[in-house]
């Protein structure tokens, strides 16, 4: 038992004075009708202000979204117009020195000038052989340090040593 409990039980008086706690509850104080009306009007004002801000933000977002889409849509519309015009009119011939890539629903096409096409086929047709003396095999690897073309792991090691 605590001192206080013992004193209360035996009806003894203590010298210590204790603070008396208020008996009121911590509930909200009831407001007058004027205060309630004022509070309601303040809450309504805040809510209206927030909804106005939200509407303004939505409006800005919509405008930005539409402006960004407008550029891509206009390009698509122009392409659609060109596609419809191409079906009605003959295809224009491009100059012989230009590269043209065409992608349609039927497929893709790459048009190259004959001079470039000849150069590409000649370069592709050249066979690169192993750089090791006496080896005629085709290149499979490139040695990392030396950058030489080699055909096997043995020749790779030889090329790295030299």
Q: What is the pLDDT of residues 11-36, one digit of tens each?
A: 766 566 667 777 776 666 777 889 88
Identify the domain containing residue 55 by its residue range: 45-85
| pLDDT of 83 higher than 60 | no
In a domain, 9, yes or no: no
Asked whether residue 15 is domain-assigned, the answer is: no
Tally of domains within the chain: 2
> Is residue 104 in a domain?
no
Look at the block and give the residue holding tokens 């927030």: 50
- 26 in a structural domain: no
Residue 63 within any structural domain of the chain: yes
Strand partners, 138: 129
Determine the pLDDT at residue 125: 62
Please say if the pLDDT value at position 104 is more than 70: yes
Contacts of 158 (CB under 8 A, 6+ apart): 132, 150
- Among 54, 85, 116, the domain boundary falls at 85
pLDDT at 55 exceeding the cut of 90: yes
Neighbour count for residue 159 (Cβ, 10 Å): 21
Is the predicted pLDDT of residue 107 greater than 60, yes or no?
A: yes
Q: Is residue 153 part of a domain?
A: yes
Q: Bridge-partner residues for 111, per DSSP?
A: 100
């Amino acid at each position: 038992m605590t001192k206080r409990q013992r004193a209360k039980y035996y009806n003894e008086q203590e010298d210590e004075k204790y603070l008396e706690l208020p008996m009121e509850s911590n509930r909200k104080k009831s407001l007058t009708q004027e205060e309630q009306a004022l509070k309601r009007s303040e809450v309504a004002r805040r809510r209206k202000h927030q909804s106005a801000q939200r509407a303004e933000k939505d409006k800005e977002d919509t405008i930005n979204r539409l402006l960004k889409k407008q550029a891509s849509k206009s390009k698509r519309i122009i392409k659609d117009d060109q596609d419809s015009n191409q079906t009605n009119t003959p295809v224009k011939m491009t100059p012989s020195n230009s590269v043209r890539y065409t992608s349609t629903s039927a497929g893709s096409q790459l048009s190259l000038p004959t001079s470039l096409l000849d150069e590409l086929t000649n370069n592709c047709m050249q066979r690169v052989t192993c750089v090791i003396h006496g080896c005629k095999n085709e290149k499979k690897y490139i040695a990392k340090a030396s950058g030489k073309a080699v055909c096997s792991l043995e020749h790779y090691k030889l090329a790295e040593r030299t």
